Structure 1
Amino acid sequence: MSLFLLPGEIEELTGLQQCSAQRRWLDANEWIYQIDVRGRPKIARIYFNQKMTAQKVTLTQELSNYSVNVLALRRA
């Protein structure tokens, strides 16, 4: 599975085929995206899932699942 929505998925989301029209729709609906060299909007799949399910996951919540093994960082 791609990290970004596929062009067909963005078309399904917006209901629009032209990249410029898709970008206008995304702007009007306050979506975060990047534009690739072809002018196509790129939307991270994780952002899409969060936005569509109204989940609010912060970086702090994601990082709290990890811990640092300090002993592994010590020199022998």
Structure 2
Amino acid sequence: TAMSATEFLTAAELIEVTGYKHIASQREWLDKNGWAYVVNAAGRPIVGRWFARLRLAGVHPHMDGGGMSPAGRPNFAALD
């Protein structure tokens, strides 16, 4: 299936988040602040919208261990 146009942050949204128009400065800001991204063929950082929403909500997802820090995981044992 085709990906939605809203799957990734737009160039304007990336400028708004990072405060930088220059691609190298955006990547530096993303690295400094621990944001995950991939780089397209033009060298532009591509940030997933879900990742951005989590980060802006104060959640710090990461690549290992299921995608959320332990503090962000629900305590399912409390349901028993």
Highest relative contact order (Cα 8 Å, sep 6+), 1 or 2?
1
Structure label with greater radius of gyration: 1
Q: Match for 1:38 among 36, 42, 64?
A: 42
Report the CA distance between 1:56 and its aligned residue: 6.4
Distance 1:21 1:56, change over 3 A: closer
Question: Percent same amino acid at aligned positions?
Answer: 30
Deviations 1:29-70 (A, max 9, x none): 1110000011000000000001110246756x8xxxxxxxxx
TM-score scaled by structure 1? 0.70
Structure 1: give runs of 5+ residues left out of the alignment: 62-76
SS in 2 for 1:23: helix
Report the CA distance between 1:2 and its aligned residue: 1.1
Q: Hey, what's the Cα distance between the residues in 2 that align with 1:9 and 1:54?
A: 18
Q: Which amino acid in the other structure matches residue 47 of structure 2? A: I
Q: Which amino acid in the other structure matches residue 46 of structure 2? A: K
Distance 1:25 1:56, change over 3 A: closer
TM-score scaled by structure 2? 0.67
Q: Which amino acid in the other structure matches residue 30 of structure 2? A: L
Counterpart of 2:12? Answer: 8
